[in-house]
Structure 1
Amino acid sequence: MTEIPVKDKIKFAVSLITDFAKKHSLSTTQAFNYLDRFNAIDFINQHYSVAHTLPFAEILDNLALYCKNHGGNL
C-alpha cells in the first residue's frame, strides 16, 4: 500500500477545520482547539483513507458526534 502524502492529509484537515468552524460559528482557531482537545484531529489523521471518501457534511456531523462522545458540548 502506498503512503498518503502528508500535504494531502493537511489540506483535508484544514478544510474540515475551516468548515467545522463555519458550521458551529467558531473561529478557525477555536475550531482547531476544540477538535484537538477531544482528539478529533488525531482521528481524522488516523482514518484519512476512509474519511476523505465520505461526503463532507457527513464527516462534519461525525466529528461533532465524536467530540461529544469524548466530552465536547457543541
Structure 2
Amino acid sequence: MQRVSEKDKIEYTVSLVSDFAKKHSLSTTQAFNYLDRFNAIDFINQHYNITHTLPYKEILDDLALYCKNRGGNL
C-alpha cells in the first residue's frame, strides 16, 4: 500500500472546505470553523484513504450530515 503524503491530505481537505463553503453559502473561514467545531476536519484526516475514493458530492453531503449528528444546524 502506498503511503499518503500530508500534502495530498491537506490539498484534499482544503478543496473540501472550499466546496463545502460554496455549497452552504459560507466563507471558507466559516466553513472551516464549522467543520472543525463538529470534528469533521479530524474525520477527513483520519479516514482520508476511504473518503477520497468516494464521489465528491457524496462526501460533501456526508460532512453536513456528520456535523448535524453532532449538533450542527446547516
For normalisation by structure 1, the TM-score amounts to: 0.97
Identical-residue share of aligned pairs (%): 77
RMSD: 0.7
Say yes or no: does 1:54 pair with 2:51. Answer: no
Gaps of 5+ in 2: none
User: Number of paired residues?
Assistant: 74
1:30 corresponds in structure 2 to 30
Gaps of 5+ in 1: none
1:69 corresponds in structure 2 to 69
Say yes or no: does 1:12 pair with 2:12. Answer: yes
For normalisation by structure 2, the TM-score amounts to: 0.97
Deviations 1:20-72 (A, max 9, x none): 00000000000000000000000000000000001110000000000000110
Q: Distance in 2 between matches of 1:44 and 1:2?
A: 18
Q: 1:35 corresponds to which letter in structure 2?
A: L
1:42 corresponds in structure 2 to 42
